[in-house]
Structure 1
Amino acid sequence: MKQIVLFIILFNLVFSQDRREVGKLIMENVPEIPKEVEERSRQYRNTRSATCRSWLHDGSGMIIGTRFGETSQIHILEQPMGARSQITFFEEPVSGGNSCPDPNSNGFLFSKDIGGSEFYQIYYFDLNSGESAMLTDGESRNGLGPWSNSGRNFAFTSNMGNGVDMNVYMGDINGNHTPLVQEPGYWFPRSWSPDDSRLLVGKYVSINESYVYIVDVKSGKMTPFNPSDERISYGGAAFSKDGKGIYYSSDEGTEFRHMRYYNFARDKHTILTGHIPWDVQGFSQSDNGRYMAFTTNEDAISHLRVVRTAGFKEMKIPELPMGRVGGLDFSPDGSRLAVNLNAPRTPGDVYVLNLRNRSLTQWTQSEVGGLDTESFSEPELIHVNSFDGLRVPGFIYRPSGPGPHPVVVYIHGGPESQFRPSFSSWVQYWVKELGAAVLATNVRGSSGFGKTYVQLDNGYRREDSVKDIGVFLDWIADQPDLDQDRVAVFGGSYGGYMVLASMTHFNDRLRCAVDVVGISNFVSFLKNTKAYRRDLRRVEYGDERDPDMRRHLEQISPNNNAKKITKPIFIIQGYNDPRVPVTEAEQMRDVIRSNGGDVWYMVAMDEGHGFQKKFNRDYYANAVSLFLEKYLLD
């Protein structure tokens, strides 16, 4: 009889929750959003950004991505600060926008999925007719690659062959596609040779191991580029515009990915950025081959450089503010360079650098809801010495006033990713409206700090990164303007795992936590993540098929240590998530509740790995703010 009563009590604890639905959101124990929270966040919810996707083939304007409704769509912009003419009108967000270089065509490629499933399909949009056509099978996962120089074909990656391996195909705007690489693993296209007879392709194994091959398009013969016994990580790779060599970035023989050039005739590799002790993040060449632009990632801050390819001499250009720079794209005539700039105080916008007079012109000015951006917090770069002496970086956003201020510790996902200073309306909201400092961490395992650093959390060393969070908590305690007794942790994806692990390790030092699409058990995660991702994740986390590793993964998984969590937690999930399945959130919710814990739970039925639709994002952000007000500020 006692067992029956105990079962009823546990059932009521787990399942008898305050459940309600708003739109496609299903929530448990999440209160209704007060009007004052909605009103206070209104301006922050109405910021937007813009990115250059490509120049039009004649250089008369550019294709940009921005949002005026629920999701980001494709627009055309014909002049600086001109009207943005919306071209696509889908319920789902649209990626791509790659303009066809064929002068006889007038259209672009784009891709989209359904409900965050990440089974992206590729489409061609004809600007003459205003109609789009799906070019892929409607079922597989596909990724856009580059147009051929003639514009008659484009390359793309797809798992249409067996649903697992991502292989390389050549397609055209009529929906025809020809396989070019049919091999096990994760393959993707990189660059066409000037005469379109060859295609550079990549094979990704892990962030520390990748390969480049040259494929003869006609015969299908695949030749390894730069074969080596060393495990090498490649960044970008592209044929030079004169066809005499290949530009590429790699960490061969070095700690960071340097820009290099391979000369076919001389069979010689040359390092071009050896004087810069940081990763080359991305690069682009002008069509005439005269210029190259590239960015370096220096302590998580972007630096743009433009060089003349003859002699690789750097040009003097206007200095850009601290933030993220990307989307480098030269105009067809090579006289202008479009860049996307996202800074901590301003949303992402498009700028154009005129290479003739070195002037920088802003092409878009994204809305900030009428907010005074000059009052926003600028992050400060800090470093801590971790338990083993490792120097670990982070960024602190401080509110005005003496404090002591509560703190939100932000942990990025990946884990092979990096927090980089850029615009976040919600970080600024927490700082200015809630009076909370935000400490964004780049714990060991983060990318951008060298190939040694990124491997320091692999396999059996997983919890060393969690120990780094403990050292950041020590740092908070030493700051007179920060309140060590009011600290929350926030993170998504792998950052969600780090949030849960932090709660099991530092429960007594934390007030509350927000876990967004986080991993709660590595074994169940590896079993249920989509098949095309599974082997890639095993390299990072460990292979659960090995008995010793399986025991280790079970031992460190947060759901098996949930009894240590006694503080409130907000778990947020997209129902269609192909990366971290909804079952990871559900099992963590249930085990904490079975222990009598306080859990807010939100699942979006039309989202995947993160929220893309404005209504969902707004409600989620308001709910998080309400959660922090209740459990962190009080």
Structure 2
Amino acid sequence: MRRMILLAATMLAGAAQAQVPTIPKPAAITADGIPALPESLRAATQPYLESRTAGVLGWNPKTRGLLIATRFGNAAQLHEVARPGGARTQISFEAEPVVRAAYAPRSGDTLLVSKDIGGGEFFQLFTLANGRLTMLTDGKSRNDGGTWSPDGKLVAYTSTRRDGTASDIYVIDPRDAKTDRMVLQVKENGWNVEDIAPGNAKALVSRGVSIEQSELFELDLASGKLTRLTPEGAKVAWGSAQYGTDGTIYVTTDLDSDVQRLGKLGRDGKFTALTPPGKWDVEGFDIADDGSFIAYVVNENGASKLRLLDVKSGRIREPKLPAGVIGGIEIAPWGDIAFSLDSARSPADAWVVDPKTLAATRWTFSETGGLDATKNREPELVTVKSFDGESVSGLLYRPDPAKFPGKRPLIFNIHGGPEGQTRPTFKGATNYLLDELGIAVFYPNVRGSTGYGKRFVGLDNGPFKREDSVKDIGAFLDVLEKDPALDKSRFAQTGGSYGGYMCYANAIRYPQRFKAALCVVAISNFVTFLENTQSYRRDLRRVEYGDERIPEQRAKLLEISPLTRIGEIKVPLFIVTGGNDPRVPASEAEQVVKAVRGNGGTVWHMLAADEGHGFRKKVNTDYNFWATLTFWQTYLLK
């Protein structure tokens, strides 16, 4: 009888457990080794998953409204805002995200759109009218850019349609697809159209060799003649080149400087700086249509400063803005300066500055799921000396000590690139970790990160310096493990792309110092990565990581690849990847899953068939977040 009662109790418990509601898995996701996710997670996290942003794309010269990208459904779409605080009027209605678009200058009669499918980054150019897209390109190749001429009659762009790799330069009147023609056939990838000159006779084009080296040329759009403007082979970066109204070329460069400065480039190659010397990069600018002023942005230790330069007098003024990170700066034909402003306590929203009065007006007020974002914790800057004496820094977000007393668990979150930079922006769903679970989050900017000068960004180049950035994590661990508010027995890590490589590498180098690792779209073998990444970007990656075709470098790349030492990973892994990823193919994840499981290790694997290098569709990002929480609760918090 006792045995029957126990058996009945066990069956009832199993039935009760089976009846626990679970979150349905999105159709495009394969969740391999991931447990069912309880429906209770949805209710607990819902407010944190409902924040929005407003990314400024430009002005509508006809209506004087702002064109922005924002998301109300599953994917971000184009909207217009007519006035400060006005409603967002949706104008694109696609299943895939639409986040690149620009109206024809002056007339505003044509809206040019760039969009891919499933995150594959094979962008096509379209026009958008009456809610419908009309394709201008071939639907197969990668088409990038879409630079309007000042009069709005011509668009220049690059395309790989000829051979799948080289980024040839084309021009088109988007009102008539038959006007499409190639202007310049090139041998390499990395070419880009920067700007078209007044009169439409010439264009500024660039060729990127690496993050540290690029070249500028002037292209005759009728003959295809290319004239070099910058020294050949010089290890100098040139960026954001634009024509002034009189044909003067303005550009940012680190020529004779460790940081990017704004200045004028003569056709004789002489550069004249217009901004004062300093320790921070000028990271972007725009020129007023009348040529009277330039609005530019300086990256000061991750935070943005907007400045206005009077072209004639050289006077520099600075409007008063909330602390944050600025993006998408666009000057209207009538002079107003629009941009997105993002901070720890506010998601990216559209702002406009009056260049005469410097008055700043917020145009959009993005929702934050009903949560009071002004209560979000600001990060603190952590600076340490690494193994070789190099200073490296990062941003540490701590939970409220009043709500979460005692030592707190910590997650390292490592950016990709490697030429990226973690900045004090709105962290969205990550705030749930801080506010509801009491987990601290640290965002390191290891060597190779941008924002700290060209010397720093080059410290990790090539296979023989690559692991120096992994050693930087050790320096951070040495300091943070001594922090009295952190629990060194409960440290974990995550990272995406190159940060995903770091995620694997750290699990190997520091096996006793991390409890778990969540590695997203991660490089696992540098040789297979270089061989399988899309051909249009392969040469640029070889400059950064090394050339697998050279025996000495290939041997070193294999030596430092996580897959080579995969047997040394003992912590549980959660691997996330996109089926259409053109940068780090899904095969990079698959070979790790197979190897770790072959060694008896624990791996959760999530693959989204309709995503690329990172998830962009809300249904997928939400499910991934709930799985991530379950992973941390299982392997970090217990």
Q: 1:511 aligns with which of 503, 511, 515?
A: 515
Which residue pairs with 1:362 in the alignment?
Answer: 362
Which residue pairs with 1:209 in the alignment?
Answer: 213
Give the secondary-structure state (helix, strand or coil) at the position aligned to 1:532.
helix
Once the two structures are TM-superposed, the CA of residue 59 in structure 1 deviates from its matched residue by 5.2
Question: Do structure 1's residue 171 and structure 2's residue 172 form an aligned pair?
Answer: yes
Question: Do structure 1's residue 413 and structure 2's residue 391 form an aligned pair?
Answer: no
How many Å separate the matches in 2 of 1:431 and 1:114? 34
Which residue pairs with 2:278 in the alignment?
Answer: 276
Once the two structures are TM-superposed, the CA of residue 102 in structure 1 deviates from its matched residue by 4.6
- Compared CA separation, residues 451 and 267, structure 1 to 2 (3 A): closer
Once the two structures are TM-superposed, the CA of residue 36 in structure 1 deviates from its matched residue by 2.7
Q: 2:552 aligns with which of 548, 552, 564?
A: 548
- Residue type of the alignment partner of 1:311: S
Which residue pairs with 1:79 in the alignment?
Answer: 83
Which residue pairs with 2:136 in the alignment?
Answer: 135
Which residue pairs with 1:8 in the alignment?
Answer: none
Give the secondary-structure state (helix, strand or coil) at the position aligned to 2:465.
helix
- Compared CA separation, residues 316 and 303, structure 1 to 2 (3 A): closer
Q: 1:495 aligns with which of 492, 496, 499?
A: 499
Once the two structures are TM-superposed, the CA of residue 357 in structure 1 deviates from its matched residue by 2.3
How many Å separate the matches in 1 of 2:365 and 2:73? 17
Task: Confirm or deny: 8 A CA contact 1:58 1:332 kept in the other structure.
Answer: no
Which residue pairs with 1:147 in the alignment?
Answer: 148
Task: Confirm or deny: 8 A CA contact 1:156 1:170 kept in the other structure.
Answer: yes
Q: 1:317 aligns with which of 305, 316, 319?
A: 319
How many Å separate the matches in 1 of 2:562 and 2:172? 45
Once the two structures are TM-superposed, the CA of residue 312 in structure 1 deviates from its matched residue by 2.2
How many Å separate the matches in 2 of 1:181 and 1:435? 56
Which residue pairs with 1:372 in the alignment?
Answer: 372
Once the two structures are TM-superposed, the CA of residue 267 in structure 1 deviates from its matched residue by 7.4
Which residue pairs with 1:15 in the alignment?
Answer: none
Question: Do structure 1's residue 183 and structure 2's residue 186 form an aligned pair?
Answer: yes
Task: Confirm or deny: 8 A CA contact 2:241 2:251 kept in the other structure.
Answer: yes
Once the two structures are TM-superposed, the CA of residue 268 in structure 1 deviates from its matched residue by 4.7
- Residue type of the alignment partner of 1:168: I
Task: Confirm or deny: 8 A CA contact 1:59 1:333 kept in the other structure.
Answer: no
How many Å separate the matches in 2 of 1:288 and 1:617? 43
Per-residue CA distance 1:527-569 (angstroms, 9 max, x = gap): 1111111111111110111111111111111111111111111
Per-residue CA distance 1:395-429 (angstroms, 9 max, x = gap): 00011114311000010000011111111112211
Question: Do structure 1's residue 67 and structure 2's residue 68 form an aligned pair?
Answer: no
Superposed, 1:449-468 pairs within 5 Å as: 449-459=452-462, 460-468=464-472
Per-residue CA distance 1:230-251 (angstroms, 9 max, x = gap): 32111211111222x2111111
How many Å separate the matches in 2 of 1:192 and 1:362? 31
How many Å separate the matches in 2 of 1:67 and 1:40? 22
Which residue pairs with 1:116 in the alignment?
Answer: 119
Superposed, 1:245-260 pairs within 5 Å as: 245-260=248-263
Once the two structures are TM-superposed, the CA of residue 228 in structure 1 deviates from its matched residue by 5.2
How many Å separate the matches in 2 of 1:415 and 1:50? 26
How many Å separate the matches in 1 of 2:616 and 2:83? 28
Which ranges in structure 2 are unaligned for 5 or more consecutive residues? 1-23
Which residue pairs with 2:298 in the alignment?
Answer: 296
Which residue pairs with 2:431 in the alignment?
Answer: 428
Task: Confirm or deny: 8 A CA contact 2:229 2:269 kept in the other structure.
Answer: no
Which residue pairs with 1:564 in the alignment?
Answer: 568
Task: Confirm or deny: 8 A CA contact 2:183 2:223 kept in the other structure.
Answer: no
TM-score normalised per structure 1: 0.94
How many Å separate the matches in 1 of 2:548 and 2:276? 39
Give the secondary-structure state (helix, strand or coil) at the position aligned to 1:406.
strand
Task: Confirm or deny: 8 A CA contact 2:171 2:180 kept in the other structure.
Answer: yes
Which residue pairs with 1:9 in the alignment?
Answer: none
How many Å separate the matches in 1 of 2:406 and 2:423? 25
Task: Confirm or deny: 8 A CA contact 1:59 1:332 kept in the other structure.
Answer: no
How many Å separate the matches in 1 of 2:486 and 2:272? 49
Give the secondary-structure state (helix, strand or coil) at the position aligned to 2:466.
helix
- Residue type of the alignment partner of 2:312: A
TM-score normalised per structure 2: 0.93
- Compared CA separation, residues 263 and 187, structure 1 to 2 (3 A): closer
Once the two structures are TM-superposed, the CA of residue 130 in structure 1 deviates from its matched residue by 4.3
- Compared CA separation, residues 216 and 387, structure 1 to 2 (3 A): same
How many Å separate the matches in 2 of 1:347 and 1:27? 30
How many Å separate the matches in 1 of 2:329 and 2:612? 28
Once the two structures are TM-superposed, the CA of residue 485 in structure 1 deviates from its matched residue by 0.9
- Residue type of the alignment partner of 1:445: G
Once the two structures are TM-superposed, the CA of residue 341 in structure 1 deviates from its matched residue by 0.3
Question: Do structure 1's residue 526 and structure 2's residue 530 form an aligned pair?
Answer: yes
Task: Confirm or deny: 8 A CA contact 1:64 1:75 kept in the other structure.
Answer: yes
- Compared CA separation, residues 410 and 36, structure 1 to 2 (3 A): same
**What RMSD, in angstroms, separates the aligned Cα atoms of the two structures?**
1.5
- Residue type of the alignment partner of 1:430: L
Once the two structures are TM-superposed, the CA of residue 269 in structure 1 deviates from its matched residue by 2.6
- Residue type of the alignment partner of 2:328: G
How many Å separate the matches in 2 of 1:562 and 1:130? 50
- Residue type of the alignment partner of 2:31: M
Once the two structures are TM-superposed, the CA of residue 213 in structure 1 deviates from its matched residue by 0.2
How many Å separate the matches in 2 of 1:366 and 1:157? 34
- Compared CA separation, residues 194 and 433, structure 1 to 2 (3 A): same
For these two proteins, the number of residue pairs brought into alignment is: 608
How many Å separate the matches in 2 of 1:589 and 1:405? 30
How many Å separate the matches in 2 of 1:181 and 1:439? 46
Which residue pairs with 1:383 in the alignment?
Answer: 383
Which ranges in structure 1 are unaligned for 5 or more consecutive residues? 1-19
- Residue type of the alignment partner of 1:160: R
Once the two structures are TM-superposed, the CA of residue 366 in structure 1 deviates from its matched residue by 0.5
- Residue type of the alignment partner of 2:153: R
Give the secondary-structure state (helix, strand or coil) at the position aligned to 2:476.
helix
Q: Which moved more, 1:383-392 or 1:250-259?
A: 250-259
How many Å separate the matches in 2 of 1:339 and 1:583? 38
